[in-house]
Amino acid sequence: MRIGIVNDSVMAREALRRVVASGDGLQVAWTARDGAEGVEQVKADAPDLVLMDLFMPKMDGVESTRRIMKEAPCPILVVTATVSGQIDKVYQAMGHGALDAVDTPVLGACGGCAGGADLLRKIQTIGKLIGKYQPRCPSPSPPPGPPPSARTREPMLALGASTGGPFAVAEILKGLPADWDACTVIVQHVDAFFVVGLAGWLSEHSGRRVQLAADGDRPERGKVLLAATSDHMRLDEDGRLRYSAEPKAACYRPSVDVFFRSVAQNWPGPGAAALLTGMGRDGADGLLALRRRGWTTVAQDEATSVVWGMPRAAIELGAAEAVAPLDEIADALARGIRGGAQARAVR
């Protein structure tokens, strides 16, 4: 993998150089001293991944991420001095398309880099997602389970998202009707380290309380639940949310496909689901399973997606009943929930 480094600190750039050089199959493509230079470097010589600092002169990492994803899309990993201390900035960058975030490694007295192993793990995970580190992830097999029972459940809204997803999810939650009382469950590709901060960020930006789903929780009317770990979340036949490391081969974690398929098996409906901005194709097969059960299914359109990978895969598969820009998705989902009892299954 060829990696670009955008950081105004000489010491940080050297630490990042050493970490990258220590990884199998990794090399530094170039370095940039501020966000503006980073944008120009990406446009001139696109790397496989950019390591992006947040606080820099001329142009910060949030704006640089926005510009790169608009003008020359490229995978971006935020690498900043303290992720936990800058969580709002981190989610702003993720809203524009950054995939993940990690603390900047620190050069040690003996030439080592504290925190280097964490950075390497993040790089390797992203490499798997973009097919540069090892073969692309297989689509997870559908979980075993009985067909849906005839017993009616409460209406459910299911959202799946990846790159650029936090902003998209917040906009949808904010756009739902004031009296919204359906069960709402969200699966967002995100490191477990950030998920508590993500729940708070979504709550603040959407005006709705977003809670982390605990193992054994049941989706309930009016409650908004967010997948809380890097393990996959499933809905079991008793209507409870469960976490599992399987399938381990699925590098999209938590997997939208795993969740959507389990809902198709174990939640007869009515319901509506949306597959939002994101890299790859996770969620496309699961969205199709939901459509075949009579759910309203929506894919985000290309113009408003930070990365039009997951929604495009769903559209190509015939999984999306509707394709809509971000500002129209909440209305489409609300209409689908209200008319769920009359939804017609795809044969």
Q: Which of 282, 285, 301, 305 is catalytic?
A: 282
Cβ-proximal residues to 83 (8 Å cutoff; 6+ apart), any chain: 90, 101, 102, 103, 193, 194
191 is catalytic: no
96 is catalytic: no
* Alpha-carbon gap, residue 229 to 212, rounded angstroms: 9
Q: Which of 34, 53, 100, 189 is catalytic?
A: 189
Dihedral angle at the C-alpha atoms of 1, 89, 197, 10, nearest 10 degrees? 50
Listing DSSP states for 286-339 in one string gives HHHHHHHTT-EEEEE-TTT-SSBSHHHHHHHHT--SEEE-HHHHHHHHHHHHHT
* Alpha-carbon gap, residue 84 to 98, rounded angstroms: 16
Rounded to an integer, what is the distance from CA 133 to the centroid of its chain?
19
Side chain identity at residue 343, one-letter code: A
User: Are β-strands 113-114 and 156-161 bridged in parallel, bridged antiparallel, or unpaired?
Assistant: unpaired
Q: Which of 168, 259, 174 is nearest to 209 (CA)?
A: 174
Q: Which of 64, 162, 255, 262 is catalytic?
A: 162
Rounded to an integer, what is the distance from CA 278 to the centroid of its chain?
6
Q: Which of 287, 156, 136 is nearest to 218 (CA)?
A: 156
232 is catalytic: no
Residue 251: C-alpha distances to residues 127, 154, 247, 261 (Å):
10, 31, 9, 17
Catalytic amino acids?
162, 189, 282
